[in-house]
């Protein structure tokens, strides 16, 4: 069993309230879960308006599938949010 884990740190400069941020985060997480069948959640900076930190994890059968899945998720996040990606971390366990 292989676990693919990713963390995205995003900056949404136009967000001025936690309510706005929550809408963006919930939408992105729901789309990730529906499209890739992964676990996803906001994992840090919950009280900061313009910074979004999302953690994603999936159980996959082998390393090649983990690499492929993480690549697809990275492209998906880039294409499906207006927020700037500040950092992306990948880990295979």
Q: pLDDT per position in the chain (93 positions), as tens? A: 899 999 999 999 999 999 999 999 999 999 999 999 999 999 998 888 899 999 999 999 999 999 999 999 999 999 999 999 999 999 999
Largest CA distance in the chain: 42
pLDDT of 47 reads: 87
Going from N- to C-terminal start, the domains of the chain cover 2-92
Contact 2, 92 (CB under 8 A): yes
pLDDT of 29 reads: 96
The structure's pTM equals 0.90
For the stretch 61-86, pLDDT in tens is 999 999 999 999 999 999 999 999 99
CATH dotted code for 2-92: 3.30.70.1120
CA 28 to chain centre: 8
């Amino acid at each position: 069993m292989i676990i693919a884990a990713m963390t995205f740190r995003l900056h949404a400069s136009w967000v001025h309230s936690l309510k706005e941020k929550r809408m963006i985060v919930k939408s992105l997480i729901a789309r990730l879960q529906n499209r890739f069948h992964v676990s996803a959640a906001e994992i840090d900076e919950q009280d900061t308006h313009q910074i979004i930190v999302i953690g994603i994890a999936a159980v996959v059968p082998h390393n090649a599938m983990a690499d492929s899945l993480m690549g697809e998720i990275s492209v998906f996040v880039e294409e499906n949010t207006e927020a700037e990606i500040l950092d992306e971390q990948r880990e295979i366990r």
